Structure 1
Amino acid sequence: MKQANVPHLPDVQFSDEGRIRHLHLDSIWIQGSMDLRDPVRLVHEYVQRMMAWLLFVEPDGVPRRRAMQLGLGAGSLTKFCVKVLRMPTTVIELNPGVLHACRGWFHLPEPGPLLEIVLADAEQEIEQAKWWGTVDALQVDLYDHDAAAPVLDSVAFYAGCRRLLTEHGCMTVNLFGRRASFHQSVARMAEAFGPSALWRFKATREGNTVVLAFNGATQGGDPGSVLRQRASRVALSARAEDIEARWGLPALKWLKGLEPVFDTETP
């Protein structure tokens, strides 16, 4: 495990609300949650939506793909990818306290054949060429203790994220904040990926908006065309049913909720 030299970082705490445990970084803002009775269940709707890239890959091939998370949070996505999907997974986290908390309080597994943990600044780490073109599912959830806006949110950062992806790779990003930063964030993503590559869900009640950014064609063709064509959506519906049966994720609801960020073509 690689460790970064980091400045002072916020302390990490947890709180319990019935059977749900929350992670905090020196504030009331929730950085992630776990069901104490079912530690691998994805508690929050937006976290479930971060798995929506599954709609665009063959389910049987998921264990042969690679996931990467930028930001560990409470370890929910990492645990799900490793323990449920059985995917090789790399997580990049800046704060050692978050890692220790996830191990002690949130059932994060130790590194092994399916899990690599890198303690580093994600902005710097993704510039290492060894990661380029290796990631099929990139999940980005980077917030400080104030949860006001993404910590990394530049065109250069999103271009670096795109470099990580395989030809058919997909980035999912959680956008949340008390400032109206959504439009600025997606404009930067559009500059890095192209406007037609971006799809989104409507915000959850808590204010989280998940955006999908596709590096290129999916196995079924261009993502936008696949989602717009009625015949393709029938096939996607069958895949969504498969996802729900295999992994208990609300994939049929995802399919109904996905919409283009920019309406670049007429349906």
Structure 2
Amino acid sequence: MLIKRKSVEKEESSRKPAGGRKPRYSPLIISESGGVRYLHFGTEWIQGAMRIRDPYKIELAYGRQMMAWMLFVHNPAHIVQLGLGTGALTKFSYRHFAQAKVTAVELNPEVISACHSMFALPAPDKRLSVLEMDAMDFVLDKSNRGTADIIHVDLYDATEKGPVLDTPAFYEACSQCLTDAGMMTVNLFGEHKSYKKNRNAIQKSFPYVLSMPKCEEGNVVVLAFKKIPEPDFKKMTETARQIKSDTGIAALKWVTELKQAIKNQ
């Protein structure tokens, strides 16, 4: 259990999403420990984290692993985040892909507010959009079809019973939103019954799916490819070194993890 040295609670919101799905908002709790600020949805479970002195760094291991698509897609034009958390991947993408449009989709308005006020999420501009809406509504919107090069999916609520959107229909809609060579990365609980259900649902909509080795937090990141990749590990190693130089992420670890994931297919 995380020691909550400081906390700020926000009242539960009663707003309903546009699609009619009734939200289950719990009070937000913000805590700090060891120079890291954490977001919780009314429990000790961590929904996201930020290193206070380095707010654009991706603090949690599974979040860094969700960026492993960088080994395959080098110049994305549009990066989408479904489920904002503390905005870690959104901020990272916004900073390190200056040519890309970045869109974050979050149902809970209090999470959006907390990200801006407590987790250094920049104000929206011509490149950054933060949409208060249901992720399902976003991916079902026909105007979003074929527009995203990358989709990050990290959709959890206070119950921690698995992703709140986990059906084949949802993942098929995500696939439809991607460009022909696009990728989706999904955060799953590795030892939870929801893992197999989600993995199977993803496989129905993507021709190639890899499960990365379990992260230190127990999460498993799934990489879903719209186009079957042809891994060149020599080139990947060179790319990983460049990623390390440009962003500070130890991307060489991804190359090793990908080899293991392919072996375990």
Judge same fold: TM > 0.5, yes or no.
yes
Is the deviation greater in 114-123 or in 170-179? 170-179
2:90 to 62, 73, 78: 78
Alpha-carbon separation, structure 2, partners of 1:233 and 1:125: 35
**2:201 paired residue number:** 188
Query: Alpha-carbon deviations, 1:14-59, whole Å to 9, x = none?
Result: 000121000011111100000000000010110001111100123x
Q: Show CA shifts across 1:110-159 (max 9, x none).
A: 11011011101111221111111010110000001122211100000000
Indicate if the aligned counterparts of 1:200 and 1:261 stay in contact, CA closer than 8 A. Answer: no
> Which structure 2 residues correspond to residues 125-164 of structure 1 after superposition, within 5 A?
125-164=138-177
AA of the residue aligned to 1:260: I
3-state SS of paired residue (1:210): strand
Partner of 1:36: 52
Match for residue 219 of structure 1?
A: none
Preserved contact between residue 29 and residue 146 of structure 1 (Cα < 8 Å): no
Q: 1:203 aligns with which of 211, 214, 229?
A: 214
Greater alpha carbon shift after TM alignment, 158-167 vs 235-244: 235-244
Classify the secondary structure of the residue corresponding to 1:170: strand
Report the Cα offset of residue 178 of structure 1.
Answer: 6.5
- Gaps of at least 5 residues in structure 1 are 217-221
Picking from 109, 112, 117, the partner of 1:104 is 117
Q: Which amino acid aligns with 2:141?
A: Q
Residue 24 in structure 1 maps to residue 35 in structure 2: no
Kept after mapping to 2: 8 A contact 1:149/1:178:
no
Task: Name which of structure 1's ranges 31-40 and 202-211 shifts more when overlaid on structure 2.
Answer: 202-211
1:213 aligned residue (197, 211, 224): 224
Alpha carbons of structure 1 residues 261 and 145: separation in structure 2 relative to 1, 3 Å: farther
CA contact (8 A) 1:67 1:136 kept: yes
| Residue-by-residue CA offset, 1:204-261 (whole Å, 9 max, x unaligned) | 1221000100011xxxxx41xx23xxxx211111111111111111211001002139
Aligned to 2:217, what secondary structure does the other structure show? coil
Distance of 1:11 and 1:121 partners within structure 2: 19
Q: CA RMSD in A?
A: 1.7
Query: What's the TM-score, normalizing by structure 2?
Result: 0.87
Q: CA deviation at 1:8?
A: 5.2
In the TM superposition, 1:219-234 aligns within 5 A as: 222-223=228-229, 226-227=230-231, 232-234=232-234
Q: What is the SS of the residue equivalent to 1:158? A: helix
| Counterpart-to-counterpart distance in 2, 1:112 and 1:136 | 20
Cα distance in 2, alignment partners of residues 206 and 51 from structure 1: 16
Match of 2:3 in 1: none
Residues 129/14 of structure 1: CA separation in 2 closer, same or farther (3 Å cut)? same
Unaligned runs of at least 5 residues, structure 2: 1-15
The DSSP-based 3-state class of the residue aligned with 1:151 is: coil
Aligned AA (2:86): A
The one of the two structures with greater contact order (alpha-carbon pairs below 8 A, sep at least 6) is 1
Q: TM-score under structure 1 normalisation?
A: 0.87
The one-letter code of the counterpart of 2:212 is F
